[in-house]
Homo-oligomer: A and B are copies of this chain.
Amino acid sequence: MGEKKIKNIFVEGAISSQKIADSIQSHASKTNIGAHSIFLGQVRADEKDGKQVASIEYTCYQDMALEKMHEIRESIFAKYELTCMHVYHSLGNVMVGEICLFVFTSSKHRKMAIDACSELVEAIKFELPIWGKEIYQDQTIVWKENK
């Protein structure tokens, strides 16, 4: 109790491609890594009644989300032989075409990295208390629901 280190996964606004590049580059010194698997969520210009999504505004129950993410992280590390695992999720407004989720796993071999990344994405979508509000070009809103 109190020993565990809760990492923050939330970043304000969109995740830049430069942040992703920097994260990849920082793994060049870990020479036991043979495979990286990356998932990126990008805000889509969905249409509804002839109107288009302009952005998504993300909010979360931060304490609970970080606690839950900590549990997910531990269980993924227990299940897969990973060298590294990084998760970043946007809060606030993210425009269409911008990146809102960045999941990054690394392992000695490809199968571990790929399977862990895929399982992480599902857990993030269905187990973390995060909500996305689609804001249309005419300022009307629709609350998202994950499928």
Contact = CB atoms under 8 A, between A and B. Distances in A.
Interface of A: 17-18, 20-22, 24-25, 27-45, 96-99, 106, 108, 110, 113-114, 117-118, 121
A97 B40 contact: no
Contact of A98 (B28, B30, B36, B39): B28
List the number of copies, as a whole number: 2
B33 A44 contact: yes
11 contacts: A20-B20, A20-B24, A31-B96, A33-B44, A34-B44, A35-B40, A36-B39, A37-B38, A37-B39, A39-B114, A114-B121
B34 A99 contact: no
A41 B31 contact: no
